[in-house]
Amino acid sequence: MSASLSLAILVLLGHLMATSEANFNQHFDVTWGHHRSQIKDGGQLLTLSLEKDSGAGFQFKNQYLFGRIDMQIKLVAGNSAGTVTTFYLSSQGSNHDEIDFEFLGNSSGNPYTLHTNVFSQGKGNREQQFHLWFDPTTAFHTYTILWNSQRIIFLVDNIPIRVFTNMKSQGVPFPSKQPMSIHSSLWNADEWATQGGRVKADWTNAPFVASYKNFKVEASCSPGARQTQGLDAAGRNRIRWVQSKYMIYNYCSDLKRFPQGVPYECKQSRFL
């Protein structure tokens, strides 16, 4: 089968999945920690649990190129230090592309850190981190990756928090050639996740549980796909609000990391 035909089939499958009922039994495979993953409510709810010996993860059955992906997640409650809950897109191989949401747990009373990153051809190092303006453990909230040929937009409850614009013509890598699938996991990263690893997981609180529901995949070939969608004036105002009040790390501001000057994309408009 030719590469072009394979890609066409992947995009078509993405369209078909976008118009299907959100059901974890039909559309996802548990990829590791099988006994720590449970699908409930007729396929409408999936939970992952973490204990000291293992976490768990799952993956969308199909890949596609471009689209909008929504997932509702309720994060580990209480003392979640050392845990990482993820929701991301990834292709395969050492030169993979990836678009990340990672939720870094914290000790009780301290906020989660929402870590975002973009990889192209196996290279990332484009981290932005945020605190959230709500408690993500008491109710489900919607986390969205909107990926098209022009840009990647990260949204929380439909509020944009980050835009990564395609500047390949200026030499900035951008994921635009490799179809990706949805992945999620819950795992132990207490060597680095919470306050640089100073706060470890308290295994007396295990099992730690994260819950997922109401996923939606809108592939780029479907009629409602945001094939070139950017931010309107209201969206630009919202992202400025988020980044001024809740951003806690931006690689574009890390002059110690880039003593010779920040990457090219950091010098351009952030919200194109």
Instruction: Give residue-wise pLDDT tens across range 45-91.
Output: 999 999 999 999 999 999 989 999 999 999 999 999 999 999 999 99
Q: So what's the pLDDT on residue 21?
A: 52
The whole-number average pLDDT for the span 215-237 is: 76
Residue 259 reports pLDDT greater than 90: yes
The percent of the chain in helix, strand and coil, each rounded to the nearest 5, is 20, 40, 40
Instruction: Give residue-wise pLDDT tens across range 50-59.
Output: 999 999 999 9
Residue 270 reports pLDDT greater than 50: yes
Query: Which of 102, 127, 191, 218 is flagged as catalytic?
Result: 102
Q: How confident is the model at residue 20 (pLDDT cuts 50, 70, 90)?
A: very low
Per the rule left: phi > 0, alpha: psi between -120 and 50, beta: everything else, 186 is: beta
Neighbours of 63 (CB within 10 A): 22
Q: Catalytic site residue 191?
A: no
The whole-number average pLDDT for the span 219-224 is: 56
Query: Which of 21, 51, 98, 218 is flagged as catalytic?
Result: 98
Q: What is the DSSP string of 121-165?
A: TTB----EEE--SS-TTSS-EEEEEEE-SSEEEEEETTEEEEEEE
Give residue 232's identity as a one-letter amino acid code.
D
Q: Catalytic site residue 98?
A: yes
Q: Which two tokens stand for residue 100?
A: 């990340």
